[in-house]
Structure 1
């Protein structure tokens, strides 16, 4: 139950997302240096990053869920539950990996969306390795944006990654992107006649969140610089957050809620994060990394932080 948006401004774009999860979760920021061995491919060969990247991860493990590389390519994973998405075997001559490690591969090897799309036919995602052993391969789809403003969503057709949308700006979960767009157009209709105060959906299913996010994004005031784009991204996603205790997930005997909102800028190659219980905004860029040649982690404060005024 995650929502991702892209806020454009004249010099670049900010990609931002809510991370909604249904079980207890530890998360943190992680930096991965150039040349780092972050995973093995499905032939058990090491996969290494060509470019520096940083983003959010779970339990300080390498797979990045949402992040940015040193060239400003930003990417995000969202759940995309569907049947038979992946092949059950690697293909010789292709780049063979799983959906869990694909974001690291993309951010670690491409500068732009165009580069990624040009190489898409060479990329093969599968849920079993060369020995027939199952690998972790979540039902993810992916969104990317680069410094030129090009954006894309990657979904699946016949076990292949395929691009969706014409510079898409919103991604939630299943169903496929084209279905979301059709339902948005049916729900909103003529913008000039739409009564958003009364008729804009407030539900939290993927279709409703897509409609709400796309409408709020399309009507929000335009951003003139990166600071305004960051501010807009957090403002737009606030109505998409799921509060703690709102939704009981019986299958896990726990609550599904928004753990963090993260945002990434294409021009400054920076990231900003707010946790679910702390409105303090943390800003990180590659200059903040203590040693660019070493992996680095940062853990955010989850307790609400106050700034006291000077009482004199």
Structure 2
């Protein structure tokens, strides 16, 4: 189902991060889509103005779920079941796209949130299924840029709407406004312990450290992950360096990462976190962590990759590794 958040470190680096939770095996790889790349949408040929990096898979055309482009504009798409609404017909005066194609257009065409607000009316999302998979994904999108601003794109009425996101977190259904209102249920959450209280002559006090987090939800539903991620994002120390900021992001994501086998869908498949990603929109760097390994792989956009004629995929070794301290000490 996925959890996403934006974060600004003490080093004034802006990030977008996400977990990719899915039951169907995606088998994606880190990939760079170059600028001036022509790709085929279901309504015609599109061409990228900007190059970008993300994790994707070539299903007759590239399918990405998140990415950061060369202007520092970053997007992640997440499931929006029972809420997303798309148009059933094309509109001649607009760019007609299937929902899963929208992220390719955004990353290839838009350089900032201000430009996004100006151009969002150009788009008409049409009910078109993903080729080879045969279903129409219900999606909404979290967006940030080099300013650190965060917005959400939702189409609950058939038209895509840009919504300001004051907490920098997005999960799944219901819509953003519902999640924000739901945070009112967690006014008691705080990083410090509650003080002891006296009832008549009897003193009650916390059992130990962490009493301020009592009531913070721990399940994997969308509302629980939203509340948990919001609290952790607001209070986690992001460190002084870029590396400390990236480390802080993955520590937050640890709390919304779904292990394989604990969340079984109605069809029997396991909905789990297939990978996590952190996108540095300041240095145009993509960090990728697959489920099979704690290792984080790093990919930075550069002119060589951006100027290529075709996309560049990057293989990685998805294996769990350990460092043998006995060997290092001999």
- TM-aligned CA deviation for residue 187 of structure 1: 2.6
- TM-aligned CA deviation for residue 25 of structure 1: 3.1
What is the match of residue 259 of structure 2? 243
Q: 2:283 aligns with which of 232, 243, 268?
A: 268
Aligned length: 304
SS of match in other structure, 1:264: strand
- In the alignment, structure 1 segments of 5+ residues that lack a partner are 130-134
Partner Cα separation in structure 2 for residue 291 and residue 199 of structure 1 = 47
- TM-aligned CA deviation for residue 64 of structure 1: 1.3
Change over 3 Å in CA distance of 1:289–1:300 after alignment to 2: farther
Partner Cα separation in structure 1 for residue 229 and residue 236 of structure 2 = 10
Determine if contact 1:127/1:136 at 8 Å carries over to the other structure: no
Determine if contact 2:229/2:252 at 8 Å carries over to the other structure: yes
Change over 3 Å in CA distance of 1:6–1:140 after alignment to 2: same
Determine if contact 2:167/2:230 at 8 Å carries over to the other structure: no
Q: Which moved more, 1:87-96 or 1:241-250?
A: 241-250
Alignment of 1:35-46 (within 5 A): 35-40=36-41, 42=43, 45-46=44-45
Change over 3 Å in CA distance of 1:302–1:222 after alignment to 2: closer
- Structure 1 vs Structure 2 CA RMSD: 2.3
Change over 3 Å in CA distance of 1:102–1:156 after alignment to 2: same
- TM-aligned CA deviation for residue 301 of structure 1: 1.9
- CA deviation string 1:190-218 (max 9, x = no partner): 74769444311101000000000001111
Alignment of 1:247-258 (within 5 A): 247-251=263-267, 253-258=268-273
Partner Cα separation in structure 2 for residue 196 and residue 39 of structure 1 = 52
Determine if contact 2:276/2:288 at 8 Å carries over to the other structure: yes
1:25 aligns with 2:40: no
1:208 aligns with 2:224: yes
Partner Cα separation in structure 1 for residue 304 and residue 277 of structure 2 = 18
Partner Cα separation in structure 2 for residue 244 and residue 289 of structure 1 = 38
Alignment of 1:133-282 (within 5 A): 137-189=136-188, 191=190, 195-251=211-267, 253-282=268-297
Larger Rg: 2
- TM-aligned CA deviation for residue 20 of structure 1: 0.7
- TM-aligned CA deviation for residue 86 of structure 1: 0.4
Alignment of 1:97-136 (within 5 A): 97-128=97-128
Determine if contact 1:32/1:52 at 8 Å carries over to the other structure: yes
- TM-aligned CA deviation for residue 227 of structure 1: 1.8
- TM-aligned CA deviation for residue 59 of structure 1: 5.4
- TM-aligned CA deviation for residue 119 of structure 1: 0.7
Partner Cα separation in structure 1 for residue 270 and residue 314 of structure 2 = 25
What is the match of residue 132 of structure 1? none
- TM-aligned CA deviation for residue 127 of structure 1: 1.1
Determine if contact 2:83/2:174 at 8 Å carries over to the other structure: no
Query: TM-score, structure 1 length as denominator?
Result: 0.90
Partner Cα separation in structure 2 for residue 295 and residue 279 of structure 1 = 26
Query: TM-score, structure 2 length as denominator?
Result: 0.85
SS of match in other structure, 2:127: coil
1:91 aligns with 2:91: yes
Partner Cα separation in structure 2 for residue 145 and residue 232 of structure 1 = 18
Determine if contact 1:262/1:271 at 8 Å carries over to the other structure: yes
SS of match in other structure, 1:55: strand
Q: 2:299 aligns with which of 280, 284, 300?
A: 284
Determine if contact 2:188/2:212 at 8 Å carries over to the other structure: no
